[in-house]
């Protein structure tokens, strides 16, 4: 391991000395390449390569007319979000209800497949986890008064995020009555 570090240091010293001993005019592209090489060597996190945010796929199990989301606790822990927030989002978007059982599985009324949950998780991550400025997943969500704010730990930006709308509301009036009222 130390041999590799010594080789890298020797290469860096040789590169620096090659630049110091020459008085020729360098092209813009050569100088720009040198600057970026030095930046990558000294600060690998600033290299500009995109990191993908990888989360384990949801594990869905069917139990009659209900679906069980088995690894919701693990996914919430990886996203650094409270489980109640994600559950509220899922219930609102899916238009259903459910509960958490003793083994931290989310039991949802209705039949939902893994791809449904993947789609919902992507939407949740896009809205409530990923920083809009730098696209980093290293964010914290806080609640001040009635508003939720998301603060990025990478770039320091803060923005308010939309509150999750009310959950499933049963329709008590007939649709024909609603259509007539909307037409007037």
Q: Give me 25's structure tokens.
A: 């005019």
First to last CA, the chain: 79
Fold of 60-161: Defensin A-like (3.30.30)
Alpha carbons 84 and 38: distance in angstroms, whole number: 45
Alpha carbons 164 and 179: distance in angstroms, whole number: 27
* pLDDT for position 109: 92
Q: Mean pLDDT score of the chain, rounded to an integer?
A: 80
Element (H, E) at 83: helix 83-94
Q: Residues spanned by CATH 3.30.30.170 within the chain?
A: 60-161
Half-sphere exposure of 64 (CA within 13 A, CB side): 2
pTM of this prediction exceeds 0.75: no
pLDDT tens column, 75-123? 988 888 888 988 998 888 888 889 988 888 899 999 988 898 898 899 9
């Amino acid at each position: 391991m130390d041999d590799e570090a010594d080789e890298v240091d020797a290469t860096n010293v040789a590169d620096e000395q090659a630049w110091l001993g020459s008085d020729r005019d360098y092209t813009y592209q050569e100088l720009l390449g040198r600057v970026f090489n030095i930046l990558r060597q000294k600060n690998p996190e600033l290299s500009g390569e995109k990191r993908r945010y990888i989360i384990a796929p949801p594990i869905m199990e069917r139990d009659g007319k209900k679906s069980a989301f088995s690894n919701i606790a693990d996914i919430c822990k990886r996203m650094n979000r409270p489980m109640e927030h994600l559950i509220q989002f899922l219930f609102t978007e899916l238009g259903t209800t459910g509960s958490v059982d003793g083994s931290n599985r989310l039991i949802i009324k209705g039949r939902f497949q893994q791809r449904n949950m993947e789609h919902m998780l992507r939407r949740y991550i896009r809205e409530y986890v990923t920083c809009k400025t730098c696209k980093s997943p290293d964010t914290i969500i806080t609640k001040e008064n009635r508003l939720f704010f998301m603060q990025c730990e990478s770039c320091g930006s803060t923005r308010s995020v939309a509150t999750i709308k009310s959950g499933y509301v049963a329709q008590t009036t007939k649709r024909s009555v609603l259509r007539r009222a909307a037409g007037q």
